[in-house]
Chains A and B, each alone.
Chain A
Amino acid sequence: MKLQAMGLYFPDIEHLLNWPGILFEGSKYFELNKVGIIYLWAMIAPILLFTLAIRKSKLVPTGVQTIAESSVDFVRENVVMQTIGPDGMKFMPFLMSLFFFIFFSNITEVIPFIQLPGNARMAAPAMLALVVWVVFNAVGIKSQGFFKYFKNTIIPPGVPGALLPLVAVIEFVSTFFVRPFSLAVRLFANMLAGHLLLVTFAVLSAALWDSSPLISIVWAPFVVLIGLTGFEVLVAFLQAFIFTILTAVYIGGALHPEH
């Protein structure tokens, strides 16, 4: 799949994602590569943000504290209150961890010299989707009981009897298999697609720069690259938001089955 014409070289997708280990090299389970470091950063950055915000905590918020508090406010007003309601406040720490973890591992996509979204690898999305799956099922079983939850989930109210088996199968598959799968794939594919777009235009810009930097057309892919970088910032935020709000919707559905 190497396309090599006129000095253009598009790297293979395997090549883009093949990062050497830095620590514990060769270990199957603990080799720390760039993706692992991005996950660590996605853990450390929010902790740092909140620690700074809390340490300099003032009644009138400034700087870091404003960011931290407005993000808390954002998750509370736009995610929890819109989907679960006031009794969803106990899921705030979980949803906030999800939001910050996903956002900070996405945003590395546009940070110079890192330029790889952590979620362009299936590891974190799959893991998070699994966690969400466990959480919303646990919440449902805890609040309604196992059989009632199962019944409420696969049999939606107001379905005529003849259609019931079909609908039950569809609901079963969509709730217990499609939900986690689509959560993971949505995040992963969005970030990988964004990454590939950025790589494509970066490679184009670089190749044109190498061949003839003075031609004005050189800048066309570069302008697109800048525009796409801005767009990817939006996507990074939006994907974190969507993952979080879908989690909240699933938890809300498990808490209040009539919705």
Chain B
Amino acid sequence: MNSLTMMLAASEGGDPPNPIIPEWNEVIWGSLSFLILFTVMAKYAYPAIKKTMEARTEKIQNDLDAADTARTEAETLRGEYDSKIAEAQAEASRIIEAARGEAEQVRQERLAAIEPEIAERKAQADSDIEAAKVRALTDVRAQVTSLAVGAAEKVVQSSLDESAYTRLVDEYIESVGK
């Protein structure tokens, strides 16, 4: 026998117990222990731990429910915001369209307002031009008349009958002026 075997083995002496038939003292200590354990477990430990676990289950359930609710709410809110944004965009494009229309209208009005003036001015310019033309023609006729008279006087050197002469010149000018 050696030291380690000694440590493992039980002590010598005393009647060795039967390996199968239970000993009364061991049965009694075992029953006592199991009874106490069962009492503590049934009255104290199991209900307490069950309560904790149920509380956790409930809390997790509640949290999940709350998260679900929050998600639904958030989705509703998002839908609202989406529709609001769409509305705002429609409004903005409507405003822009209106402004564009207004500008067009103003332009048309301005154009309409300015047209008679332009026409008037154009007419006036036309009449001015006409007048100037007439005046110039008259001037030219007078000049040509006097020039022709001078030239004729110089050519003829004699005084013709004034009236016959004027008629002659007039005829000439008439033919020239045409």
Contacts and interface: CB of A to CB of B under 8 A. Distances in A.
Q: Report A-B touching, CB under 8 Å.
A: yes
Interface of A: 7, 9, 11-21, 27-36, 39-40, 42-43, 46-47, 50-51, 53-54, 57, 59, 61, 65, 68-69, 72-73, 92-94, 96-97, 100-101, 115, 118, 121-124, 126-128, 131, 188, 192, 199, 202-203, 205-207, 209-210
B113 interface: no
A123 B27 contact: yes
B40 to A, nearest CB: 5
A115 B14 CA distance: 21
A122 B34 contact: no
25 contacts: A12-B16, A14-B19, A15-B16, A17-B16, A18-B10, A20-B13, A28-B25, A32-B25, A36-B25, A43-B33, A47-B40, A50-B41, A53-B49, A57-B48, A59-B55, A61-B56, A72-B53, A93-B41, A93-B42, A94-B42, A97-B37, A101-B37, A122-B22, A209-B4, A210-B4
B111 interface: no
Nearest to A7: B2
B30 A127 contact: yes
Interface residues of B, number: 47
A18 B23 CA distance: 11
B10 A122 contact: no
A143 B72 CA distance: 48
A210 B34 contact: no
Contacts of A11: 5, 8-10
A92 B45 CA distance: 11
B50 interface: yes
Interface in B1-58: 1-5, 8-14, 16-17, 19-34, 36-38, 40-42, 44-46, 48-50, 52-53, 55-56
A28 B24 contact: yes
B10 A15 contact: yes
A3 to B, nearest CB: 12
Interface SS of A by simple majority: helix
A72 B23 CA distance: 32
Contacts of A9: 1-2, 5
Contact of A123 (B26, B36, B53, B59): B26
Interface of B: 1-5, 8-14, 16-17, 19-34, 36-38, 40-42, 44-46, 48-50, 52-53, 55-56, 59
Given A46-B37, A59-B59, A97-B41, A123 B30 contact: yes
A40 B31 CA distance: 10
Contact of B4 (A31, A101, A202): A202
Interface SS of B by simple majority: helix
Contacts of A34: 10
A69 to B, nearest CB: 6
Contact of A51 (B16, B32, B42, B45): B45
Nearest to A125: B22
Nearest to B19: A13
Contacts of B36: 43, 47
Given A39-B26, A50-B44, 15 more contacts: A18-B14, A21-B25, A39-B34, A40-B29, A42-B37, A43-B33, A46-B45, A50-B41, A59-B59, A100-B41, A101-B34, A115-B8, A121-B17, A127-B30, A210-B2
B30 A207 contact: no
A34 B23 CA distance: 13
